[in-house]
């Protein structure tokens, strides 16, 4: 049976029809992207140059870079950056190390491995709100953790875990680690399944022990996944909000503020949209510079 032969005119008409169909399928997503991502970004940039209050949206006073100057000279802004860095330095390595250990222990088909994989992943799908409230209850002065320590005679009086900034950030980092181990484990599990078993067999014949196999075979083989996990966890640490907002609320005296809680407070508690908009763009610049630094550092290694 011969294939149908179309004239140039008919071929052009079919081409335009197919192109039109493609544009129609593309249009909803494109409009969504423009309306809910691009437009808010430029509108937010516009607001950052004005003195704009949520209580009086009709009054806008152009101030140029005054909002950015105010952010950069604000003590709480630098405190929030310090807290994010401390949180990241604790939670990111903790998630990566414990997630890798869990993945390495469970990547082989051993009895109960599927059950443990599920148990490790449950915190990932647990609501941040629920997890934060449980941790807050657990670490209050009269909470379960202090009760257990007192029952074991390890302390004489309750410890104020959430009232002192250092201890509170450590508790919040512990929550982040608990929530993130399962996600890291899943990424590493997928990577470990792609490592050729012949490499381990050859290493065994050469007399390598378990640690040497991990150091010279496993870790280099999953290096790309490690870089991806590191980048995503660092960005996630800078975007932490729910746990800090619900557990400490930024207190006492803003000593546990992070950038997103401070941005939220300025926008929806103090109603200073101009300041919050400038803060959001400085936040985006910090995340962008940090991501570029990580990419360049990873390329060098």
pLDDT, tens only, 225-240: 999 999 999 999 999 9
Q: Which of 273, 280, 264 is nearest to 59 (CA)?
A: 273
Ordered by where they begin, the domains of the chain are 78-300 (1.10.3720.10)
pLDDT, tens only, 163-196: 888 999 999 999 999 999 999 999 999 999 888 8
More confident residue, 251 or 181: 181
DSSP state of 37: I
pTM: 0.87
Q: Roughly how many angstroms between the first and final C-alpha of the chain, as a whole number?
A: 60
User: In this structure, are strands 56-62 and 50-53 parallel, antiparallel, or unpaired?
Assistant: antiparallel
Is pLDDT above 80 for 47? yes
Is pLDDT above 90 for 34? yes
Asked whether the bond before 252 is cis by omega within 30 degrees of 0, the reply is yes
């Amino acid at each position: 049976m011969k294939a149908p032969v179309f004239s140039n005119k008919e071929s052009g008409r079919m081409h335009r029809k197919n192109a039109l169909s493609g544009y129609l399928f593309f249009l909803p997503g494109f409009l969504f992207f423009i309306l809910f991502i691009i437009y808010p970004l430029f509108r937010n940039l516009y607001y950052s140059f004005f003195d704009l209050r949520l209580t009086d949206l009709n009054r806008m006073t152009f101030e140029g870079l005054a909002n950015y100057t105010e952010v950069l000279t604000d003590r709480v802004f630098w405190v929030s950056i310090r807290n994010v860095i401390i949180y990241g330095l604790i939670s990111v390595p903790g998630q990566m190390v414990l997630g890798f250990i869990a993945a390495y222990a469970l990547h082989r088909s051993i009895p109960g491995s599927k059950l443990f994989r599920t148990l490790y992943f449950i915190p990932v799908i647990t609501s941040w709100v629920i997890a934060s409230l449980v941790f807050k209850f657990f670490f209050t002065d009269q909470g379960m953790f202090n009760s257990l320590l007192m029952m074991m005679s390890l302390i004489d009086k309750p410890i104020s875990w959430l009232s002192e900034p250092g201890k509170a950030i450590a508790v919040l980092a512990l929550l982040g680690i608990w929530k993130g181990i399962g996600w890291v484990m899943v990424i590493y599990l997928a990577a470990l399944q792609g490592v050729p078993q012949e490499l381990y067999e050859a290493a065994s014949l050469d007399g390598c022990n378990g640690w040497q196999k991990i150091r010279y075979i496993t870790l280099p083989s999953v290096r790309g996944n490690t870089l991806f996990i590191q980048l995503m966890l660092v960005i996630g640490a800078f975007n932490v909000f729910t746990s800090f907002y619900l557990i400490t609320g930024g207190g006492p005296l803003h000593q546990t503020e992070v950038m997103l809680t401070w941005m939220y407070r300025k926008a929806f508690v103090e109603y200073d949209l101009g300041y919050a908009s400038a803060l959001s763009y400085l936040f985006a610049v910090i995340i962008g510079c940090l991501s570029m630094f990580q990419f360049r550092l990873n390329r060098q290694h």
